[in-house]
Amino acid sequence: MDDFILEMKGISKEFPGVKALQNVTFQVRRGEIHALVGENGAGKSTLMKILSGLYPYGTYGGDVVFDGQVQKFTETRDSEKAGIAIIYQELALVKHMTIAENIYLGDEICGNAGWIDWNETYQRTAKVLREVGLKLSPAARVIDIGVGSQQLVEIAKALSKDARLLILDEPTAALTETETDNLLKILGSLQQKGVTCIYISHRLNEVMSIADRITVLRDGRTICTDEKVSMTVDRMIHNMVGRELTNMYPRKERPVGDTVLEVKNWTVRDPVTDDVVCDDMSFRARKGEILGIAGLMGAGRTELVMSLFGVWGKRQSGEVWLEGKKLANRSAIDAISAGISLVSEDRKRYGLVLGMDVKENSTLASLDRISKLGIINKNEEIKSAGQYVKELRTKTPSLEQPVRNLSGGNQQKVVIAKWLLTRPKVLFLDEPTRGIDVGAKVEIYNIMNGLVDQGVCVIMISSELPEVLGMSDRILVVHEGRITGDLPRAEATEEKVMHCATSGS
C-alpha cells in the first residue's frame, strides 16, 4: 500500500460552458517529486487552484485527501495551514522589500507588545536561506537579486511556513541554465529532508531529470501516471497532445537570397548603468532564411534587437542597412515604416494592450493602412484582423474578445498578426514560443516557415537550444555583448553553440 500524502479523487470542475476537469485522479506519494505535465489549458492550473483552496470546497466535485483526511479548504490560508505551499510562475514578492520582510510578510514575528521582532526575523530568515542554499543577506532587497534567487526566496518562504507539500508552477521559465541546475539541486536536497514536491513544467527534459513519477493531463482528464523509468520525452509529448509530433521542428530547405539586413559595428550602452551591452556587433541576414540568435540570458540578445528597433539603449556607433538603404531608426516609428517589426519577449508587457480586443490589438501598429485622414475604416479593420485570425488559426470566440481572455499561444498569434499587418521585410522574434504549449509552438514554427516563403527575413532569438538548432538556417551566438559564433546549420551542434555562448571563443 502506497503512502500518499495527497490524493485528489474524481475531481471535476466546470466553468460556464467548459468542463475544465473531468474525474481527475492525482496521487502524490510522501517524499517524492511528482511532475505534472500537460499543454496549456489541460487543467493543471485549475487542479492546483482547487488544491490551494482558491476554488473553495463545494465548487468542485470529488475529494481532496491530504494526510489521510478529506480537506475542505475555503481559502488559500486553509491550505497553507495544512502545509501546502504553491509558488506561482509570476513570483509574488514585494520587490522593494527585503528578503526577510518578504519571507515573513503577513506572518510577521511579533513580540508580546505587538511590535515586529526584527532580530528574530533576520535570524530565522538566515536559517531558511541556508536551507535553500542562498548566500544572500536577509536584508538584501528583492529587486536587487536575480530571478533565480527570487525563486529560491519563494521556496524559503514556503519552508518557513513548514510546508510539507511544495508546488512549483513553471519555476524555471525565467531562469538561466545555471540557475535551473541550482534549483533542481536544491529541490533534490529538500526531498532528502522529506519535503514532497509537485513540479509543473513545460520543459520535459527537466521533468525527466528530476521527477520520480509523472502525471500527464490532457483536456481536463488524467491520461496516465507513471514512474519516470518507464517514461520517455516522446511518450510524454504523445500523451500530452494525443498524437505523435513526428517533426517538432518543421524546417524546410530553401534557397538563400540576397542580404536584406546588414548591421555594422553596432555598439550600444545601457542608458542607466552606461555599460556596453552590445559590443561592436556586425552581421547580415538574408532573404529566405531564418537567422537564429542563441546565447545565455543577459548576453545582450534582447538588447541588440530592441536597440536595432530603436526603442532601447544609448547608441554609441554602428550602422543598420536595410536593402541597401541606411536607416536612422531613432524610434519604433522609424523602424516600422522602414519595414522592421519586433515580436518582443514579454508579450504582456510590450506586445499587447490586454484590455483591448483581438481586432484592436491586431491593427494597432498599422492603423495608417486602414484609415483615411485619421479616421479608421472599421470594416477594413475587421477584415484585416479577421484575415490573420484565420491564417494564423488564432482560437478566439470573436474578434471583439479582449486579448486578456486568450491563452498564451493565441495571444502570441495576435502579436504576430499585429506585426504582419505592418508588412515587414524583417521580423525579429524574441523568444517567440516562451510559455506556450507544445502544439501552439509547432503552429508558430509553421507560421515562421510561411513567412520566409513569402520573402520575409526572420530573425529569431531563442534560449531553447533544440528550437534554435531545429528552426534556424544560420545561428549567431552572442556572449557578453559580442558575436562569438556564426554557424551555418550544417555545422551547428548543441555543443558548439554552448561552447560559443559560454566561453566566447
* Residue from the set 32, 39, 179, 473 that interacts with other proteins by CB under 8 A: 39
By CB under 8 A, is residue 439 in contact with other proteins? yes
Contact 11, 61 (CB under 8 A): yes
| Of the candidate residues 77, 333, 423, 493, the single one contacting other proteins (CB under 8 A) | 333
**Do residues 204 and 36 touch, judged by C-beta distance below 8 A?**
no
32 binds other proteins, rule: CB under 8 A:
no
Q: Is 375 in the site for other proteins (CB under 8 A)?
A: yes
Q: Which three cell numbers stand for residue 262?
A: 546588414
* Span interacting with other proteins, options 82-90, 209-217, 358-366, 488-496, rule CB under 8 A: 358-366
3-state SS, residue 191: helix
Give 176 or 371: the residue with its C-beta nearer to other proteins: 371
What is the largest distance, in Å, between two alpha-carbon atoms of the chain? 77
Residue 108's beta-bridge partner residues? none
Of 232, 247, 398, 454, the residue at the interface with other proteins (CB under 8 A) is 398
The enclosing H or E element of 475 equals strand 474-479
Interface with other proteins, residue 356, by CB under 8 A: yes
437 scored as a contact of other proteins (CB under 8 A): yes
Query: 85 or 406, CB closer to other proteins?
Result: 406
Per CB under 8 A, does 418 bind other proteins?
Answer: yes
**Residue of 75, 258, 400, 453 interacting with other proteins (CB under 8 A):** 400
* Residue with Cβ nearer other proteins (355 or 488): 355
Angle of helix 438-453 versus helix 233-241 axis, rounded to 10 = 90
Q: Is the dihedral of CA 204, 206, 207, 208 positive or negative?
A: positive
* Nearer of residues 113 and 373 to other proteins, judged by Cβ: 373
Task: Please identify which residue in 91, 276, 297, 311 interacts with other proteins, judged by CB under 8 A.
Answer: 311
In angstroms, give the least distance from the CB of 353 to other proteins: 4
Q: Rounded to whole angstroms, how far apart are CA atoms 282 and 286? A: 14
Alpha carbon 36 to its chain centroid, in Å, reads 17
Quick one: which of 101, 206, 360, 467 contacts other proteins (CB under 8 A)? 360
Work out which of 342, 417, 429, 476 binds other proteins, going by CB under 8 A. 342
Q: Which stretch binds other proteins (CB under 8 A): 20-28, 113-121, 137-145, 385-393?
A: 385-393
Instruction: Choose the stretch contacting other proteins; rule: CB under 8 A; options: 58-66, 99-107, 132-140, 336-344.
Output: 336-344
Inter-residue long-range contacts of 243-251, CB under 8 Å, 24+ positions, other chains counted: 245/438, 245/442, 248/438, 248/441, 248/442, 248/466, 248/470, 249/445, 249/466, 249/467, 249/470, 249/471, 250/442, 250/445, 250/446, 250/449, 251/445, 251/449, 251/470, 251/471
Choose between 211 and 461: whose C-beta lies nearer to other proteins: 461
Query: DSSP letter string over 131-150?
Result: HTT----TTSBGGGS-HHHH
**351: contact with other proteins by CB under 8 A:** yes
430 binds other proteins (CB under 8 A): no
Instruction: Decide if residue 242 touches other proteins (CB under 8 A).
Output: yes
Applying CB under 8 A, the span of 73-81, 126-134, 151-159, 353-361 interacting with other proteins comes to: 353-361
CA 106 to chain CA mean position, Å? 28
* Smaller CB separation from other proteins, 178 or 398: 398
Helix axis angle for 408-420 and 438-453, nearest 10°, is: 10
The one among 440, 447, 452, 492 contacting other proteins by CB under 8 A: 440
Long-range contacts of 104-108 (CB under 8 A, 24+ apart): 104/160, 107/160, 107/161
Binding residues among 83-142 for other proteins as defined by CB under 8 A: none
Query: What's the min distance (Å) between Cβ of 250 and other proteins?
Result: 13
- The whole-angstrom separation of Cα 395 and Cα 413 is 9
Cell readout for 378 is 472599421
Pairwise CA distance, residues 231 & 239, whole Å: 11
Does 272 sit near other proteins (CB under 8 A)?
A: no
Span 191-230, contacts to other proteins by CB under 8 A: 219
Interaction of residue 241 with other proteins, rule CB under 8 A: yes
Nearest to 232 by CA among 212, 265, 267, 204: 204
Rg over CA atoms, the chain:
24
Closer CB to other proteins, 329 or 484, in the complex: 329
Closer of 114 and 374 to other proteins (Cβ): 374
Closer residue to other proteins (CB): 354 or 498: 354
Name which position in 69, 112, 246, 379 contacts other proteins (CB under 8 A): 379
d(CA 25, CA 31): 19
Stretch of 182-190, 269-277, 280-288, 355-363 lying at the interface with other proteins (CB under 8 A):
355-363
- CA dist., res. 319 & res. 348, Å (int): 30
236 binding other proteins? (CB under 8 A): no
Among 45, 71, 98, 396, binds other proteins (CB under 8 A): 396
CA distances from 315 to 260, 283, 297, 328, 333 (A): 22, 17, 21, 11, 17
Kindly list the residues in this chain that would bind other proteins in the complex (CB under 8 A): 39, 41, 219, 241-243, 309, 311, 331-333, 335-337, 342, 344, 349-356, 360, 364-365, 367-368, 371, 374-376, 378-379, 382-383, 386, 389-390, 393-400, 409, 418, 422, 437, 439-440, 443
